Amino acid sequence: MLVPCLGLALAAGLWVAREPLQEAVRTGSTLANDAPTTEAVEEMIMKSADAKSALLAAWNSGKIVHREIAMASVSRVFPGTNALPSDVEALVLAGTLDPDFNVRKSAFGVLRVRNHPQTFPAAVKLLGDPDQRVRLLGLSQIKMASPQLGVPTAAVLLEDPDVAVLGLSLKLLENWSGQQFGSKLADTVQVEDRYTGLQEFQSEGVARTRAAAEKARLWWLAHRDQFPAPADPDSTVGVSLPPRILAPDFELKDQRGRLIRLSSFRGQVVVLNFWTTWCTACVGEIPALVALQRQYSDRVVILGVSLDYVPDSHGHIGGHAAVEEQHQSDGDHDDHEATGAALKRVREKVGRVARTRGINYAVLLDEHNDVGGRYNGGELPTTVLVDAQGFIRRRFIGPRSLPVFEAMIAEAMTPFPTVASSVSLPE
């Protein structure tokens, strides 16, 4: 009777321990995966018996997808407006200056819901950023500030070169001051150009916005003595410096079949641009990248990583029908032949676009989404700036102009601030 009893006890023990074992396997495999799906990371965190530790583990992994989902999960793990645990609060504050724009947005969302006292000083730090999208993010976070704080802060941006930033600054100033400068947010909305397909500002709206900004400047000159000096972003406390995230290394072949390895460019700034030939914004951004490569040919490396062979949500590859559809239409070819034919067509299309657009930088084909998955490059275009030491200095979605790229390159050429790379897990 002893052996059957032991067997039953063992079976019962395994049954009781099955969920912890499953969780351990799920957590371990997800953390080890360099390119998991966002759903896998969400499941690892939200199904964990200790969601806080799972969230911190994802953040501390230093991996792009894990960190984005960790920050996005803070409000789910800690719903409501209650104060966050100190280590999670430190994570969120660090996220407001993260190299990854997606992380920044999520971090400010957490602070804003809780009306956190560091929301305003953290937002002020963004207003001098070279990226207009970051400045817009900062402005959107200060709209609930008092007029005494908000007016002098927004007035600094009355000469901003970006029309959208200028328009939002004007609208905030109107709300705080009770004045009407003649600004309309509709004038700062980009519309699609019928010929190029690109999103562009309309000349009439730009002119009206700049005229309104001139009226606002005159008002500010007459009333600035009624307000304190604008907040100094460098004097704020409680906001961490940006974390240092090492760029995942990779190897891909260029159009000539040469193997390109990211780490071989240490000592130079690298611009990774994830794109496809069918993405209008991606193609529209190419002239800025061409000019950037020409201007910084000895100091900057641009790698255009094509995701044309990665199926879209409809199963289409590189603007062609899915491989399965090609297989059916090609007759008696086997799967290997159909896949090879599809890949050949995609390579030819990428090469044709590169030649037509005068691309003067390396174009790599990420056939299996290995690199796109690590950098979460599915939203197009996604751009990542890697500094000479191999750390990510910027990651963002959407096209940027040549002047913005130039400013970001200059930033990436400066030494990285000394700071711990992550929030440590509790003992």
The boundaries of the domain holding residue 101 are 19-235
Q: Partners of 259 in the beta sheet?
A: 253
**Do 187 and 113 fall within a single domain?**
yes
Surface-to-core class of residue 301, CB atoms within 10 Å of its CB (0-12 exposed, 13-18 middle, 19+ buried)? buried
The pLDDT mean for the chain works out to 87
pLDDT over 70, % of the chain: 84
pLDDT in tens, 56-84: 999 999 999 999 999 999 999 999 888 99
Which tens digit of pLDDT belongs to each residue from 131-162? 999 999 999 999 999 999 999 999 999 999 99
In a domain, 106, yes or no: yes
Burial of 267 (0-12, 13-18, 19+ CB in 10 A): exposed
338 phi/psi in degrees, rounded to 5: -65, -40
Cβ atoms of 378 and 84 closer than 8 Å: no
Distances (CA, A) of 197 to 220, 276, 284: 38, 15, 8
52 with 175, same domain: the answer is: yes
Mean pLDDT, range 224-252, rounded to an integer: 81
pLDDT tops 70 at residue 226: yes
CB-based burial, 91-100: b 16+ in 10 Å, e otherwise: bbbbbbbbbb
Q: What is the pLDDT of residue 272?
A: 98
385 phi/psi in degrees, rounded to 5? -100, 125
Question: What 3-state DSSP class applies to 199?
Answer: strand
pLDDT of residue 200: 81
Are 131 and 157 in contact, with CB atoms under 8 Å apart? Answer: no
Q: What is the reported pLDDT for 427?
A: 33
Instruction: Locate 247 and state its tokens.
Output: 């760029």
Number of domains in the chain: 2
pTM equals 0.87
Same structural domain, 72 and 107: yes
CATH number at residue 158: 1.25.10
Q: Summarize the confidence of residues 324-335 as an average pLDDT.
A: 48
- Do 98 and 220 lie in one domain? The reply is yes
